[in-house]
Amino acid sequence: MIKITSFVLKIASRCNLNCSYCYMYNLGDKTYLNQPKFMSIETIKAFANQFELHSNIAGIKYAQIVFHGGEPLLLNPEYFKNCVTIIKETVPNVEFSFTVQTNGVLLNQEWFDVFKSHEIRLGISLDGPKKYHDEYRVFHNGKGSYEDVVKGFKLAKKNGFVAILMVLNPELPAKDFYDEIKKLEVESLNLLFPDGHYDQLPFGIDKLRFGDEDYTPYADWLIELFQIWKKDIDRPAIRFFEDLVEMLLGGNHSGNQNFGKKQNGVVVIETNGNIEVVDSLRASFEGITRNNLNVHTNKIQDIFEDDIFDIYYNSHEKVCEKCLNCPVYDICGGGFLGNRYALKNGFDNPTIYCKDIIRLLSHIQNDILETLPANTLDELEVEPLSYEWMMGELKNQGEELINKQVKEKLISFKQNH
Ligand code: SF4
């Protein structure tokens, strides 16, 4: 039985910010305009009932719930208390981890009292120093949100909440970014590649240089940050690096939707109760995530009838020919599905960050190897990697490995029929 153990509840379909790179509002899809502004308590109850059925059938003992938006804090603290109580009481045999992902602008002490009493964790989005954060993360009147977010973060720290989420921005010097997180005493952060695909390249990529073999702006930035971070004896936890190091050393980390070979058991519940694939795929084209499934009428597992969910769930197996031949396929997994999209051939591509990933992985692997004693190296059986060698390997493809049906399915999402 296929298990869904992670849910993103889109409890608000609108946001008090208007971030320029946001997949919800400013990339390929405007269907959020048809959604109710907030998820009703009836829909929370319907979700909890459907999950109770699914958890019994699939034998689920642990699940993650992320309250997401839009901006989830546009609702009120009482709403959150109700949601957590309803879900826990309806699904008593599952242990839950609750998180709210917020832009941080509306945080105040009342929120923290609820987060603590209901064991809700917190992730705040911050994109670096004021100058850079305010370029993208703006209110609807164009005013930057940095001051408000930092105020929220400082209050979060006082209350024992520490996690930051940052969208990568190679235009921001890595050193300035690191100085900022040290200044704010950030203890834990994660990094995200910006949404985008072959026909909508993200900021930080020069379209004219995108095809150059040596052009890897995201890797260059990440390598600089990795070096600064590694040398800092009092460094914060950067999950992005820690996960990659663990995977490179053959640890137990099996990946996530961006890396590795793991299946992606994340489902989005929309404000109207629709059961959908992860919503950052909306950057691909208008309506790609939409279907007719809803917690008021369908079972959670009905999502497996949705073609796009099937590709997403198995996205590290259903990859293009190039990825199947790639020396770092086991770690990269072809990258996040949404970053593989092109209007002309759907998802039959490596991620737009392919070269960056190859350069970054080779750098980190070689860097680790240089620091390890010889006997540990022998035990690990890990060899140094060369960017140039790997790029060469990708050109020397032999016998076709891709399954024809998988290829057809990946291509079937193309838009210029
Ligand atoms: S590095 Fe590139 S070719 Fe290799 S698996 Fe990742 S996306 Fe595919």
pLDDT of 98 > 60? The answer is yes
| 278, 312, 346 - which closes a domain | 312
122-158 per-position pLDDT tens digit: 999 888 788 888 888 887 888 888 999 999 999 999 9
CA dist 327 and 342 (Å) reads: 23
- What is the whole-number distance in angstroms between the Cα of residue 391 and the centre of ligand 1? 10
pLDDT of 92 > 60? The answer is yes
Residue 333 φ/ψ region, left for φ over 0, alpha for ψ in the -120 to 50 degree band, beta for the rest: left
Atom in ligand 1 nearest the alpha carbon of residue 358: 1
- What is the whole-number distance in angstroms between the Cα of residue 164 and the centre of ligand 1? 27
Is the CB of 358 within 6 Å of ligand 1?
A: yes
Q: Would residue 416 count as lying in a domain?
A: no
Overall domain count for the chain: 2
Q: Percent of the chain having pLDDT more than 90?
A: 70
pLDDT of 2 > 70? The answer is yes
- Indicate whether 195 and 332 sit together in one domain: no
Atom in ligand 1 nearest the alpha carbon of residue 333: 5
- Indicate whether 225 and 344 sit together in one domain: no
278-330 per-position pLDDT tens digit: 988 887 887 888 889 999 999 999 999 999 999 999 999 999 999 999 999 99
Which residues touch 291 (CB under 8 Å, ≥6 apart)? Answer: 274, 275, 276, 303, 306
Q: Confidence band (pLDDT; 50, 70, 90) for 231? A: very high
Q: Would residue 1 count as lying in a domain?
A: no
Q: Residue with the nearest Cα to atom 6 of ligand 1?
A: 334
Is the CB of 335 within 6 Å of ligand 1?
A: yes
3-state DSSP call for residue 66?
Answer: strand
pLDDT of residue 185: 92
Is the CB of 328 within 6 Å of ligand 1?
A: yes
CA dist 206 and 208 (Å) reads: 5
The larger pLDDT score, comparing residue 27 to residue 305, is at 305
- Indicate whether 264 and 391 sit together in one domain: no
CATH code (residue 32):
3.20.20.70
- Indicate whether 238 and 287 sit together in one domain: yes
Q: Residue with the nearest Cα to atom 3 of ligand 1?
A: 323
- Indicate whether 346 and 387 sit together in one domain: yes
Q: Would residue 51 count as lying in a domain?
A: yes
CA dist 357 and 372 (Å) reads: 23
- Indicate whether 236 and 373 sit together in one domain: no
48-79 per-position pLDDT tens digit: 999 999 999 999 999 999 999 889 999 999 99
pLDDT of residue 32: 60
- Indicate whether 339 and 283 sit together in one domain: no
CA dist 329 and 230 (Å) reads: 25
- Indicate whether 15 and 49 sit together in one domain: yes
177-221 per-position pLDDT tens digit: 999 999 999 999 999 999 999 999 998 899 999 999 999 999 999
Give the domain range for residue 384.
Answer: 318-411
| 282, 312, 342 - which closes a domain | 312
| 262, 291, 312 - which closes a domain | 312
Q: What's the rounded mean pLDDT across residues 99-123? A: 94
- Indicate whether 304 and 339 sit together in one domain: no
- Indicate whether 344 and 222 sit together in one domain: no
- Indicate whether 291 and 329 sit together in one domain: no
pLDDT of residue 140: 82
pLDDT of 30 > 70? The answer is no
Q: Would residue 30 count as lying in a domain?
A: yes
- Indicate whether 106 and 229 sit together in one domain: yes
How far is residue 321 CA from its own chain's centroid? 24
Q: Would residue 417 count as lying in a domain?
A: no
